[in-house]
């Protein structure tokens, strides 16, 4: 069934193939026109590089919008995502000083926040933030500072949004011990079929680091670090910069705005921005954690968050930097072993290759552990 829920995210994959079939342009136009926008729709095209939802850019009445089909095999209750975004929007309006832009959700003509199509899929429409660009890689320290400032302001804004107000949109998300358990159970079923050296290398790498999976979860369970509202996916692709001034304007892709650990966001943002060869590394730049990018991000982040971020959270940032690429690598590897049911792939083997890239990043981070620790404490020292 399309909407069944329960268990870590990556267990609900049965509907994946169905979810991937692209609707015809005519069907897309009908869906877009069910929302409160001028008719007719004059252009629709695929948009962005997301690995989970299907995204289209729509033009109508001289305005551009983003139309998305929420992957129902991943998100058990898509309408909850919309109510979380609305809660964020209300909070952002109360704090105009933070200058935060949230893409506005357009209601359907029936007044709903999303549209449930006859096939059961759920669609939403948002305004496109114009004159904004995303970056393929960080090229200058100023861009890194902008990333840190934006994430810091976003987290500060979220402090006034109590975790109890937000619904869980994706159960099991960033539950690293659960991802590890899933990996181990897939592995147990694979016995005897492990003859590919690349797969074997990935499996060994993950098995050698099993203890890492529990690090943040244990600190949370012992009550050392709090559950707060987080973005969940603050990778570079999800940060919009002003085309002219270069200022970071908005964090988009708010599907995983939900209670979680702030360290997940910090680690995820750094693993994405500081590996300048990217998640799909083409081989031209070595996979490495670039401290010259991390430092300005964290310094700018600290300026925004120093007043409320706890000493325990700060002390665990180096662990988070190592954990998040490990977790993503584990998820890519597991998905490869399960037949690419979760992340979109352009070709077979892509998830395996991407797992290798995240694991190479972990290895590089491990080699720089001392420098990373020193950098973190330096960034958070009172100026
Ligand atoms: C997925 O859909 P997208 O591309 O925004 C994933 C993130 C990963 C990211 C890696 C809900 O995000 O957790 O870090 O790919 N989102 C979900 O690019 O699983
Ligand atoms: Mg996302």
Ligand 1 pocket mutation, candidates 10, 134, 235, criterion most atoms within 8 A of CB: 235
Closest to 333 in 3D by CA, of 222, 184, 192, 212: 184
Are 151 and 269 in contact by the 8 Å Cβ rule? The answer is yes
- The span from the first CA to the last CA of the chain, in angstroms, equals 55
Arithmetic mean of pLDDT, 23-43: 95
pLDDT by residue (tens digit) across 279-296? 998 777 789 999 999 999
Nearest CA to ligand 1 atom 14: 233
Ligand 1 pocket mutation, candidates 52, 176, 341, 346, criterion most atoms within 8 A of CB: 52
20: confidence class by pLDDT, cuts 50, 70, 90: low
- C-alpha angle with apex 146: 364 to 105, nearest 5 degrees? 110
137: confidence class by pLDDT, cuts 50, 70, 90: very high
H-helix segments, the chain? 16-20, 25-32, 78-94, 141-158, 176-190, 197-208, 215-221, 262-273, 291-305, 311-315, 317-337, 350-367, 369-380
pLDDT by residue (tens digit) across 307-332? 999 999 999 999 999 999 999 999 99
Does the beta carbon of 319 lie inside 6 Å of ligand 1? Answer: no
Six token digits for residue 54: 């299907």
| Å from CA of 328 to ligand 1 middle | 9
**pLDDT at res. 293:** 98
Ligand 1 pocket mutation, candidates 9, 12, 51, 266, criterion most atoms within 8 A of CB: 51
**pLDDT at res. 15:** 43
3: confidence class by pLDDT, cuts 50, 70, 90: very low
Does the beta carbon of 52 lie inside 6 Å of ligand 1? Answer: yes
268 CA closest ligand 1 atom index = 14
Phi then psi dihedrals of residue 105, to 5 deg: -80, 135
pLDDT by residue (tens digit) across 349-374? 999 999 999 999 999 999 999 999 99
| Å from CA of 268 to ligand 2 middle | 11
Distance (Å, whole) CA 366 – CA 368: 5
**pLDDT at res. 97:** 86
Arithmetic mean of pLDDT, 91-101: 87
Question: Model's pTM, two decimal places?
Answer: 0.94
- C-alpha angle with apex 72: 54 to 265, nearest 5 degrees? 75
The proportion of the chain whose per-residue pLDDT surpasses 70, expressed as a percent, equals 94
- Residue 70: exposure state from Cβ atoms within 10 A (0-12, 13-18, ≥19): buried
- Residue 20: exposure state from Cβ atoms within 10 A (0-12, 13-18, ≥19): exposed
**pLDDT at res. 234:** 98
pLDDT by residue (tens digit) across 237-281? 999 999 999 999 999 999 999 999 999 999 999 999 999 999 998
Cα separations (Å) of 208 from 73, 189, 192, 198? 31, 19, 20, 16
Distance (Å, whole) CA 252 – CA 134: 10
pLDDT by residue (tens digit) across 142-175? 999 999 999 999 999 999 998 888 999 999 999 9
- Residue 295: exposure state from Cβ atoms within 10 A (0-12, 13-18, ≥19): buried
pLDDT by residue (tens digit) across 186-220? 999 987 667 789 999 999 999 999 999 999 999 99
Does the beta carbon of 338 lie inside 6 Å of ligand 1? Answer: no
Q: Which residues of 148-171 are buried (b: 16+ CB within 10 A; e: fewer)?
A: bbbbbbbbbbbeebeeeebebbbb
| Å from CA of 50 to ligand 2 middle | 7
Does the beta carbon of 254 lie inside 6 Å of ligand 1? Answer: no
Q: Which helix (H) or strand (E) holds 58?
A: strand 54-60
**pLDDT at res. 10:** 56
Arithmetic mean of pLDDT, 94-121: 90
For the CA atoms of 228, 226, 359, 288, the dihedral, rounded to the nearest 10 degrees, stands at: 80
Q: Which domains does the chain have, with CATH numbers?
A: 2-128 (3.30.200.20), 141-380 (3.90.1200.10)
Question: Helices 197-208 and 317-337: crossing angle, nearest 10°?
Answer: 140
| Å from CA of 342 to ligand 1 middle | 10
**pLDDT at res. 284:** 74
Judged by its nearest atom, the ligand closest to the C-alpha of residue 53 is 1
For the CA atoms of 295, 99, 48, 232, the dihedral, rounded to the nearest 10 degrees, stands at: 60
Instruction: Count the alpha carbons within 13 Å of 305 in the hemisphere toward its beta carbon.
Output: 28
Question: What's the mean per-residue pLDDT of the chain?
Answer: 92
Ligand 1 pocket mutation, candidates 233, 236, 261, criterion most atoms within 8 A of CB: 233
Residues 6+ apart with CB under 8 A from 246: 142, 143, 146
Length reported for the chain:
383
Residue 119 has pLDDT above 50, yes or no: yes
| Å from CA of 371 to ligand 1 middle | 28
């Amino acid at each position: 069934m399309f909407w069944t829920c329960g268990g870590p995210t990556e267990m609900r994959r049965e509907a994946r193939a169905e979810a991937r079939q692209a609707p015809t342009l005519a069907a897309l136009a009908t869906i877009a026109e069910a929302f409160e926008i001028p008719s007719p729709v004059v252009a629709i095209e695929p948009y962005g590089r997301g690995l989970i939802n299907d995204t289209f850019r729509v033009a109508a009445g001289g305005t551009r919008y983003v139309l998305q089909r929420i992957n129902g095999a991943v998100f058990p209750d898509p309408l909850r995502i919309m109510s979380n975004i609305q809660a964020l929007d209300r909070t952002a309006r109360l704090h105009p000083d933070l200058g935060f832009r949230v893409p506005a959700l357009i209601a359907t003509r029936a007044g709903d926040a999303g549209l449930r199509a006859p096939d059961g899929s759920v669609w939403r429409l948002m305004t496109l933030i114009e004159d904004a660009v995303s970056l393929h890689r960080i090229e200058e320290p100023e861009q890194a500072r902008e990333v840190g400032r934006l994430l810091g302001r976003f987290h500060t804004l979220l402090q006034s949004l109590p975790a109890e107000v937000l619904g869980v949109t994706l159960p099991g998300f960033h539950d690293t011990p659960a991802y590890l358990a899933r990996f181990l159970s897939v592995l147990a079923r694979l016995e005897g079929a492990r003859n590919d050296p690349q797969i074997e290398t990935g499996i060994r790498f993950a098995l050698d680091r099993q203890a890492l999976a529990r690090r943040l979860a244990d600190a949370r369970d012992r009550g050392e670090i709090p559950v707060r509202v987080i973005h969940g996916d603050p990778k570079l692709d999800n940060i919009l910069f002003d085309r002219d001034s270069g200022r970071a304007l908005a964090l988009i892709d708010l599907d995983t705005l939900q209670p979680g650990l702030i360290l997940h966001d910090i680690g995820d943002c750094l693993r994405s921005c500081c590996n300048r060869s990217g998640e799909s590394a083409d081989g031209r730049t070595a996979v490495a954690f670039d401290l010259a990018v991390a430092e300005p991000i964290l310094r700018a982040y600290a300026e925004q968050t120093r007043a409320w971020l706890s000493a325990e959270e700060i002390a665990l940032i180096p662990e988070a930097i190592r954990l998040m690429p490990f977790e993503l690598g584990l998820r890519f590897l597991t998905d490869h072993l399960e037949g690419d049911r979760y992340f979109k792939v352009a070709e077979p083997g892509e998830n395996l290759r991407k797992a290798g890239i995240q694991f190479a990043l972990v290895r590089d981070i491990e080699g720089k552990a001392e420098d990373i620790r020193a950098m973190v404490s330096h960034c958070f020292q009172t100026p």
